[in-house]
Every structure is written in structure tokens, then in C-alpha cells.
Amino acid sequence: MGCACVKRLVGYEDTAILAAQTCFKETEVKALYKLFRKLSSSLVDDGYISKEEFQLGLFRNSNEQSLFADRIFQLFDTNHDGFLDFGEFIRSLSVFHPDAPHSEKVAFAFQLYDIGQSGFIEPEETFEDADSKRDGKIDLEEWKEFVARNPTMLKNMTVPYLKDMTTAFPSFVLRSDIEDDPSFENTGLKHE
């Protein structure tokens, strides 16, 4: 579990900027904050999602070991401090939005399979048929060709529920009085 003493204070994140940088509308960013708060307080109420809280959210078990969950968490944790802040969560989650560009999904999936973070997918990391150059590794160009031939590789890169959050998550009511929610007010998140 994370130690709150080593974490920096929750930073100021403007919801309009987060919306502009992602596929989410500003009201959706505000609604996703409720999900973030629920995850970030599931083990320790500190305003950050730890790897254990992330796994708890995915598998309903914080002790479940999963290479997939570990890799996703590593990719979401863009500042590599071992915790997800709200900005990292929103920006990373955006790649799974149905409206996210195909190229972003391809690049994220490539990073997911590039376990050694070498810029190549090594033979032990995935399939031989993706190595069209037969040099024992897969670069991003080969990966793009492989994904084009095997579109199901990106099947898990889209979460349809993110398209219409009001239907998928009725408990996240998108309404203007969300700004009156004390848990939102105490975040430093700006609302217009």
C-alpha cells in the first residue's frame, strides 16, 4: 500500500484543460472524478490510486497478481512515482474512449507489449508472425502492420461505456450541481 507521506500534494488540474487534452467532455471529466475518488479511497483515502487500488478496481481483489494490470498501471503512471493522480488517470483512460484516435490505441498497445521498454517487441513478448523483418524484434511500424492484419488485437483498447457515461454509469449523474459536491470542491480542480 502507498505511503501518503511520500506523495506530493494533489495538484491543480483544470477540468477544461483535461477535457481539451482527452476525448472526454468537461462534465464527463467531473463525473470521472467521482470514480477516481472511489478508487483512490478504496484502501487508503489519500487522493491517489495505488497499484493495489488499481488492481482492486479491475479485479475486485488487491492481491491478484496480473502482468496485464501491472503493465497498464505502469503506462498510466506517466510520472513513474508509483501512484496515479487524477490527471494521469483521465489522460490515460482517454485512449480507451471509442472516439480516441486509432493511432493512439495502436501506440498504447505497442507500449503494452514492449515489456522491456526497448522500443521493440522482443520474441518472448509476442507473436512471431508480427516480425515481418525477421530480425527477432518488432518495431512500431511492424506492429502497425500486424494490427492492421489482426484488428482484434485492439479489441480491448476501446471501452464503449466511455462514449455515453450517463447511460453506462447512472450513479455518476452529470448535472451542474456536481460543483456543489464538497469532495469535488476540495480537489483544487477548476470548474467553469
| pLDDT confidence of residue 70 | 85
Decide whether 12-98+158-185 matches 102-157 in CATH topology: yes
Confidence grade of residue 153 (pLDDT, cut at 50, 70, 90): confident
Asked if 147 contacts 109 with a C-beta cutoff of 8 angstroms, the reply is yes
| pLDDT confidence of residue 89 | 95
pLDDT-above-70 percentage for the chain: 72
Contacts for 122 with CB less than 8 Å, ≥ 6 apart: 115, 116, 136, 137, 138
Burial class from Cβ neighbours inside 10 Å (0-12, 13-18, 19+) for residue 28 reads: buried
Q: Which listed CATH number (3.40.50.2300, 1.10.238.10, 1.20.140.10, 1.10.1040.10) goes with 102-157?
A: 1.10.238.10
Residues 182-186 have a mean pLDDT of 51
Residues 159-170 have a mean pLDDT of 65
Q: Which residue has the cell 482484434?
A: 152
Read off φ and ψ for residue 9, nearest 5 degrees.
Answer: -65, 150
> Nearest 10 degrees: CA dihedral of 146, 148, 149, 153?
70
Asked if 157 contacts 163 with a C-beta cutoff of 8 angstroms, the reply is no
- Name the least confident of 3-17, 91-105, 142-156, 159-173: 3-17
| pLDDT confidence of residue 123 | 74
Question: Yes or no: is domain 12-98+158-185 CATH 1.10.3720.10?
Answer: no
pLDDT digits 0-9 by tens, 22-73: 999 999 999 999 889 999 999 999 999 999 999 888 777 666 666 678 889 9
Contacts for 24 with CB less than 8 Å, ≥ 6 apart: 18, 32, 90, 94, 97, 162
Q: Give the global pTM.
A: 0.69
Asked if 169 contacts 31 with a C-beta cutoff of 8 angstroms, the reply is yes
